[in-house]
Structure formats: structure tokens, C-alpha cells
């Protein structure tokens, strides 16, 4: 991973291995549930987390004092850490970088109602620790006794990708040997849904159709995903299973509009190019793109044109897993990073569920219908958020 560019060219750090993955999504709890949902899609309606029992992760008293987004954070991280096995890491050299778009929105909204209906004295004393955006990262670090950096990224729909990228840099620079990176969201409160509806961002049909000519907005979802990132040599020394390598990342801003993407896609183009430079790859090296692909008319077209500018037409095989998972806002990039790891591990690219009639203005090789077998190669995962935040990750199949 590139740490910077000095007078003598790129300065590279330690290799970063992915040794554990976890997910809590509308497909169910766990990575296998996510994968089954992606390759055998049949979901419809609301994209809420299925089969989640908070008592599996918290004692009864504690469970009442944690917002769902933080509970999802802890659950996805615990699944990923159990998957990674015995890390044998110095707690001072282990950290957490977790993301969210809006944090404990459900708790905040509910307590505003309490205030309005029952008065100030009835507001929960636990409101602040439940609503604060950093609660997810804090709970993960406390539960594991890790005393390295514990930080939260809040960059709207790009937050999950930025969190994984920032976690990887902590490992690459040598500050940490192990970092859990990921993101979580649980903001499907009626007020939030009304807000997105009134700004015409949500699908009026209730169907997520990335890159389809009939797409009419995104389908909101909740969930979380986490990746255990580890120094390559550390992982090899303990005999860990290595899923993939985080080879590079990019982060740019459109500096254009608070919600709309830059029409020329300049920010997205720069972010993809930066991620390629960071990974030491050219456009021709990328074999697959997990697109942001929200199913909104403007965003899908802007992303498609940006991909064409970098990779030509039609470019690498593209999928948007949001056809299944919906748009998890701050969790989306982390969920898609896990999906990208699984595509490498399982040697299958999931189809873009909901894309049946490809928009004739979208000149991409969109995987549709059924999962596509492939010889795994470098994967680019894109996330572009409100505020003009852009984030990209490059993941590689594990090779010595």
C-alpha cells in the first residue's frame, strides 16, 4: 500500500492481509447468509436485518443501553474476529476504525418523542452514549481490550470504504499489527425514511434496480460488516487463512454539491485513478468492479461514465450488490468490501439483482441474471456519498 509520494517516488508500507470477515445484513446474520443472498437473490420489500438477536452479543441490561447500529457493529466485528482466529496481538498495537452515516438516529428520534410527550425528566440518561457516532468503535475496542486507535469515520455513503482504507493504512504504516475496519447503520426510523422520501432519493417502486433503465431511487437498508486487517507477515507467522490483500485506496471530494454527484464524474475518476496508483496497478489490471450502483438515475449514470473514462468501454465486469442489500449508507462500503472478498474467495461474481433492462446509456459489462465464474484478479470497490465524498478500495487475491 502506498503511504505517500516522496522525492524519489512512491513510498510503500507493509502488506495488508484480510484474515477475518463478518456481516449482519438483510440477508441474515453471518457471511454465509450474505453470500447466499447475493448469488441466489430473491429479496423484496424492506431491507431490515433478519434473524438478529441482540442477546447473542450483549447481556440484558447492556442490550437496553446500546443503539441498534452499535449492536450491529459489535456483532459484525465479533463474527470477523472469530473467523480470524487467535490473533496473538499486543493490545496496544490493535485498533478499530469503524464507520457510520448517522450513528444512533433511532435512539435520538425516539427520545425526542419522549421529551415532547413526557417532558425533559423522562429523557434517557443513556441517550448520549447510545446516539454518539463513535459508540460502535468504542464498544468493539472495549470488548476486546484493544488500546490502539479507536476512531469513527462519518463520510455518508463512502464511510464504510474510508474506514476500511484508513484501517489498512494503520497496518501498512506499522502503527498497528491488527485493525478491525468496517461500518454499521440502523437508521430506518420513520423520520429518516420520510426525509429521504421527501428529497426524492428513495425508490417509489420499492425495488432496487442498479443500472436498469427503470431505476427510480435507492432502497434504504440497515446492517454492518467488518474486516480483520493484519500485517501480512504477522498473518503468515501465525498460519492464518488469508482471504485477500488490501493493495490500495483512494479518497477525493467532488467539491460540487451537497447531494448530487459532479456531472462530469471528475471526483470519482480521480478517486479510482488514485486507488490504482496506490495499488501500483494500471486500469487494464482490474478484473472486476463492485460499483456504488445505488439505483438512482443520476448516480448510476455518473458512475458508469466515470468508469468508462478510466477503463474504457465496456471495461471490467461490474456488479452492484445493492440490488440485494439495498443501500446501507455508512455501512454500504464495508458490506461491499466483504462481498468483494467473497467474490475472490468463491471465484464467483454475484449478479446485479434488479437489473433486467440495462440502461442504453450505461456502457458497462454489468453482470446480470446469474453469478459469473471468473479467474480472480484485482477488484475495485467504489463508494460515493452525499457531500461529494468518494472512496475506492483495491483488493487482490492472496498471493505470496
Q: What are the φ and ψ backbone dihedral angles of 219, each rounded to 5 degrees?
A: -105, 120
Among candidate residues 139, 288, 292, 389, the one labeled active-site is 292
Cell numbers 505517500 label which residue? 4
Closest residue by Cα to residue 373 from 342, 346, 400, 355: 346
Among candidate residues 327, 355, 389, 392, the one labeled active-site is 327
Sequence-ordered list of residues with C-beta below 8 angstroms from that of 141, at least 6 positions apart, any chain: 95, 96, 147, 148, 150
Sequence-ordered list of residues with C-beta below 8 angstroms from that of 277, at least 6 positions apart, any chain: 2, 10, 248, 250
Cell numbers 462519518 label which residue? 154
Among candidate residues 26, 27, 157, 355, the one labeled active-site is 157
Query: Is the Cβ–Cβ distance between 44 and 208 less than 8 Å?
Result: no
DSSP string, 96-152: EEEE-SSSSHHHHHHHHHHHHHH-GGGS-TTHHHHH-TTHHHHHHHHHHT--S-EEE
Burial of 266 (0-12, 13-18, 19+ CB in 10 A): middle
Query: Is the Cβ–Cβ distance between 393 and 381 less than 8 Å?
Result: yes
* Residue 27 falls in the annotated catalytic set: no
Q: How far apart are the C-alpha atoms of 209 and 238, rounded to whole Å?
A: 43
Give the distance from CA 11 to its chain's centroid.
Answer: 27
* Residue 162 falls in the annotated catalytic set: no
* Residue 189 falls in the annotated catalytic set: no
Query: What pairs with residue 5 in β-bridges?
Result: 10
Active-site residue set: 157, 292, 327
Amino acid at each position: 500500500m502506498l503511504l505517500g509520494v516522496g522525492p524519489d517516488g512512491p513510498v510503500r508500507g507493509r502488506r495488508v492481509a484480510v484474515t477475518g470477515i463478518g456481516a449482519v445484513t438483510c440477508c441474515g446474520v453471518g457471511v454465509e447468509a450474505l453470500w447466499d443472498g447475493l448469488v441466489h437473490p430473491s429479496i423484496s420489500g424492506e431491507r431490515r436485518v433478519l434473524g438478529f438477536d441482540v442477546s447473542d452479543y450483549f447481556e440484558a441490561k447492556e442490550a437496553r443501553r446500546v443503539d441498534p447500529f452499535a449492536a450491529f457493529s459489535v456483532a459484525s466485528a465479533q463474527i470477523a474476529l472469530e473467523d480470524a482466529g487467535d490473533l496473538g496481538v499486543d493490545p496496544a498495537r490493535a485498533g478499530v476504525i469503524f464507520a457510520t452515516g448517522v450513528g444512533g438516529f433511532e435512539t435520538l428520534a425516539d427520545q425526542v418523542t419522549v421529551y415532547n410527550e413526557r417532558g425533559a425528566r423522562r429523557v434517557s440518561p443513556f441517550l448520549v452514549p447510545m446516539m454518539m457516532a463513535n459508540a460502535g468503535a468504542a464498544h468493539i475496542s472495549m470488548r476486546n481490550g484493544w488500546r490502539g486507535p479507536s476512531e469513527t469515520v462519518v463520510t455518508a455513503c463512502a464511510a464504510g470504504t474510508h474506514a476500511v482504507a484508513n484501517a489498512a493504512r494503520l497496518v501498512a504504516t506499522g502503527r498497528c499489527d491488527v485493525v478491525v475496519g468496517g461500518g454499521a447503520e440502523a437508521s430506518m426510523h420513520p423520520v429518516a425514511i420520510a426525509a429521504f422520501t421527501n428529497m426524492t432519493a428513495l425508490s417509489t417502486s420499492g425495488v432496487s434496480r442498479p443500472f436498469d433503465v427503470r431505476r427510480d431511487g435507492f432502497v434504504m437498508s440497515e446492517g454492518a460488516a467488518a474486516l480483520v486487517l493484519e500485517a501480512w507477515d504477522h498473518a503468515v507467522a501465525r498460519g492464518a487463512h488469508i482471504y485477500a490483500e488490501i493493495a490500495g485506496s483512494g479518497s477525493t471530494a467532488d467539491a460540487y454539491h451537497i447531494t448530487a454527484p459532479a456531472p462530469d464524474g471528475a471526483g470519482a475518476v480521480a478517486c479510482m485513478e488514485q486507488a490504482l496508483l496506490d495499488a501500483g496497478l494500471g486500469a487494464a489490471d482490474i478484473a472486476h468492479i463492485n460499483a456504488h450502483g445505488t439505483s438512482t438515475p443520476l448516480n448510476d449514470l455518473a458512475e458508469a461514465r466515470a468508469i468508462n473514462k478510466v477503463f474504457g468501454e465496456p471495461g471490467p465486469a461490474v456488479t452492484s450488490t445493492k440490488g440485494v442489500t439495498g443501500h446501507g449508507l455508512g455501512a454500504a462500503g464495508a458490506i461491499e468490501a466483504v462481498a468483494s472478498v467473497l467474490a475472490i474467495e468463491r471465484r464467483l461474481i454475484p449478479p446485479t439483482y434488479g437489473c433486467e433492462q440495462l440502461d442504453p446509456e450505461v456502457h458497462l459489462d454489468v453482470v446480470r441474471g446469474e453469478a459469473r465464474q471468473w479467474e480472480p484478479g484485482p477488484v475495485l470497490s467504489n463508494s460515493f456519498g452525499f457531500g461529494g465524498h468518494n472512496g475506492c478500495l483495491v483488493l487482490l487475491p492472496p498471493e505470496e
